[in-house]
Homo-oligomer: A and B are copies of this chain.
Amino acid sequence: MADRCAHRLAPLSLGNISGNVVRCRYHGLAFDGDTGCCVHNPHGPALRALAVRTYPVIERHSLIWIWMGTPQSADTDTIPELSFIDDCPAHAFSKGYIPTAADHRLLEDNILDLSHGDYLHPETLGGGAFTRATLAVKEQADTLLVRWEVKNEKAIPIWRPEMPDPGSMTDMTAEILWHPSGVMTLYGDATPVGYPPERGVRTWNAHIMTPQSRYSTHYLYCNARDYRTEDAHYNAAISAGLAKAFAEEDKPMIEAQQSRIGHNDLFDCQPTLLTIDNASIRARRIYRRLVEAEQAATT
């Protein structure tokens, strides 16, 4: 439900909820949680005009999904597949929220281009392997599938202790599925060369970039893994490590990047783009295409 009363725009979030009815704390008008229609106006008739816009929402994968478009077109099939969140053992899971003062697209660029790990996260994800990876980007309808393939390299630092020995050569893959809802999944694995896949490690991640304003984003992430799944101590260490990497490495870099870009479009600042920016350029094109289609439909 839009957070402004139909009467005088007081925020309904300061009001009360009783059953399915939201009551404004300023003048007592009450609205139906589904339709947004006024169900009680203490000062007169519950006029038709006294309606608050509501949005279809659904809870799935421990997240609340809101449909900002016309309610008729709401389609739960567009919710990305995140069942790893539901299936993950408690001690193999970590999550976090990082409000970031940057355009959501700069945050998406960060995940679309994993090569940054070699430079920005040298002690956890770096080592240079991703800079030498084979990169493939595929458009599938309005999503992007980005696949990084690494052959015969040492595992990334956080995974070295899981290998037969820390210096073992491994094959690694990372697959990112980007949705224009700002939801991205990232699957990754590492298998020591010459061992069966079971000897390797796997991780499933979601990176969710929800625009708060043009230049600020609610960044939510979570991480599941298939090793040391019962180890609460290790899980706490991994959680803290991820939180630190996002908050102290990614966030400051991306916010500083935004401050250099200012209130301009990235492309107006004449960046010199490289092959590693392939996915990021396509994502921006898809956004533009969808915005234009929506604008054409409404005019």
| Interface set of A (CB-CB < 8 Å, partner B) | 3-4, 6-11, 14, 23-28, 41-44, 47, 49-50, 109, 113, 115-116, 118-120, 128, 131, 252-253, 256-257, 259-261, 266, 269, 271-277
Q: Given A27-B116, A43-B131, list of 6 further CB < 8 A pairs?
A: A8-B266, A9-B261, A42-B115, A43-B115, A47-B272, A49-B272
CB-based nearest B residue for A122: B25
Residues of chain B within 8 A of A274, CB atoms compared: 7, 27, 41, 43-44
The distance from the CB of A266 to the nearest CB of chain B, in whole angstroms, is: 7
Whether the pair B7, A271 counts as a contact (CB closer than 8 A) is: yes
The distance from the CB of A225 to the nearest CB of chain B, in whole angstroms, is: 26
Whether the pair B266, A9 counts as a contact (CB closer than 8 A) is: yes
Residues of chain B within 8 A of A252, CB atoms compared: 14
Q: In the docked arrangement, what's the CA distance between A216 and B120, Å?
A: 32
Residues of chain B within 8 A of A260, CB atoms compared: 3-4, 9-11
Whether the pair B7, A131 counts as a contact (CB closer than 8 A) is: no
The distance from the CB of A153 to the nearest CB of chain B, in whole angstroms, is: 14
Whether the pair B9, A119 counts as a contact (CB closer than 8 A) is: no
Residues of chain B within 8 A of A47, CB atoms compared: 272
Residues of chain B within 8 A of A25, CB atoms compared: 119-120, 253
* 20 examples of A-B residue contacts, CB within 8 angstroms: A7-B271, A8-B109, A8-B266, A9-B257, A9-B261, A9-B266, A10-B256, A11-B260, A14-B252, A23-B119, A26-B119, A26-B120, A27-B116, A27-B119, A27-B276, A28-B119, A42-B131, A43-B115, A43-B275, A44-B275
A253-B14 in contact given A24-B119, A25-B119, A28-B131 (Cβ < 8 Å): yes
Whether the pair B276, A116 counts as a contact (CB closer than 8 A) is: no
Q: In the docked arrangement, what's the CA distance between A26 and B253, Å?
A: 7
Whether the pair B10, A257 counts as a contact (CB closer than 8 A) is: yes
Whether the pair B10, A253 counts as a contact (CB closer than 8 A) is: yes
Whether the pair A50, B272 counts as a contact (CB closer than 8 A) is: yes
The distance from the CB of A16 to the nearest CB of chain B, in whole angstroms, is: 9
Whether the pair A14, B256 counts as a contact (CB closer than 8 A) is: yes
Q: In the docked arrangement, what's the CA distance between A44 and B131, Å?
A: 10
The distance from the CB of A8 to the nearest CB of chain B, in whole angstroms, is: 5
The one of B4, B113, B271 that contacts A6, using a Cβ cutoff of 8 Å: B271
